[in-house]
Amino acid sequence: MAHKILVVEDEPGIADNIRYALSTEGFEVVWSATGQEALDVLKSDGISLVVLDIGLPDRNGFELCKDIRRTSAIPVIFLTARADEIDRVVGLEIGGDDYVVKPFSPRELSARVKAVLRRANAPSDGGGSAPFQVDERKKRIAYFGRPLDLSRYEYRILHVLIGKPGWVFSRDQLMDLAWEEPEASLDRTVDTHIKTLRAKLKEIRPKLDPIRTHRGLGYSLKESP
Ligand code: CA
């Protein structure tokens, strides 16, 4: 089945080029010219990846990505005219997966889309070798095939970590990505949830600790447990 790609870009000329490039590669393309439209499309359609322009008429692409991240780990590739800005924020603060700097060649964008999709789909195509399986629809995570009994916050934290193995997330970032009202919580709460999460993972594999603590920085999921 063809992957459906959502292109969020307000300039019709650029959107057309992207649509052409991606459809010749066999992707199905849905186009939104505004952030609001994009959020509506994401609510309803089976989109596999979002190509997201940062300069949109109704809102900033970074903010939109943060909104998307509150409910979804869908891969996001940013389009930007300013490489200096995005380098700093793309992975850590916003939760994007990659970026392409304008002007870009259609071939380059297609290559990035394919690479990100491959990475994103690797865990479920890994023939059971990946320790975590996420069921987005039921909001459940299994570990080595055993369903984890997680609280809402544990689920969200683990979901964020699984979305980007190897990335170090600070407590602030985890709160921002996992909590509805980050101001209402304290740093320590993140530590507490990580502690209970680890205990639950240990029950299934006592010798493994897939979550790594980075002193003074935060937490990451080990790329191989
Ligand atoms: Ca734009």
pLDDT 10s digits, 132-187: 888 877 888 988 888 899 998 899 899 989 888 888 898 888 888 777 766 665 66
What average pLDDT does this structure show over 197-222?
Answer: 92
> Any residues with CB less than 8 A from the CB of 126 and at least 6 apart, and which?
none
pTM: 0.58
Q: What is the C-alpha to C-alpha distance for residues 16 and 131, in angstroms, rounded to an integer?
A: 40
* Residue 126 confidence class, pLDDT cut points 50, 70, 90: very low
Question: What DSSP state is assigned to residue 168?
Answer: P
Are 61 and 53 in contact by the 8 Å Cβ rule? The answer is yes
18 Cα–ligand 1 center, Å: 13
Q: Are 130 and 123 in contact (CB under 8 A)?
A: yes
| Integer CA distances (angstroms), 144 to 23, 102, 117, 123, 204, in order | 37, 42, 23, 12, 8
Distance 106 CA to ligand 1 centre (A): 17
End-to-end CA distance of the chain: 32
CB count in 10 Å sphere of residue 223: 10
Helix extents (H) in the chain: 12-24, 35-44, 61-71, 83-89, 106-125, 152-163, 171-178, 187-204
Structure-block tokens of residue 144: 């080595």
197 alpha carbon to ligand 1 midpoint, in Å? 41
User: How many A from CA of 153 to the centre of ligand 1?
Assistant: 35
Select from 35, 18, 40 the least CA-distant residue to 27: 18
The identity of residue 180, as a single letter, is E
Q: How far is the CA of 174 from the centre of ligand 1 (A)?
A: 29
CA distance 123 to 136: 13
Question: pLDDT value at position 212?
Answer: 93
Estimate the crossing angle of helix 187-204 against helix 171-178, to 10 degrees. Answer: 80
> What is the spatial distance between Cα 66 and Cα 93, in angstroms, rounded to a whole number?
9
